[in-house]
Amino acid sequence: MIWKEIKNLKPTDFKRLTGVTPIIFLHLVEAVNDYEAKTRKRGRTGRKSHLITEDKLLMTLMYLREYRTMFHIGVAYGLSESNVCRTIKFIEQALISHPSLHLPANVS
């Protein structure tokens, strides 16, 4: 599944497919973009990813929700297994570090 194919689904179908509503999905995309802007290195070398943030997030949701292997996800997106692993770790770190996505502390 790629962003172009699912962005026009009804909200109920979108949630059934991804596990989150379209509004929350867009909030997660903003969180990842904020993290990427903060951690972007000057003079980066190497290839630029051909995936947009939405597809990277969908890849991560696919991994977390469907328990698909990184190999299978890589085949679906045309990426190597190691590239899928790096992408998923980056997205997870972006979501973990965003302050608005933290769960409230358990106060006894």
pLDDT digits (tens, 9 = 90+) for 22-39: 999 999 999 999 998 888
Q: And the tokens for 89?
A: 């770790």
- Domain ranges in the chain are 10-38+51-99
Give the DSSP letter string of 17-75: HHSS-HHHHHHHHHHHHHHHHHHPPTT--SPPPSS-HHHHHHHHHHHHHH---HHHHHH
Q: And the tokens for 75?
A: 């085949």
- Residue-level pLDDT at 38: 86
At 63-82, the pLDDT tens digits run: 999 989 999 999 999 999 99
Q: What is the pTM of this model?
A: 0.86
Amino acid at 3: W
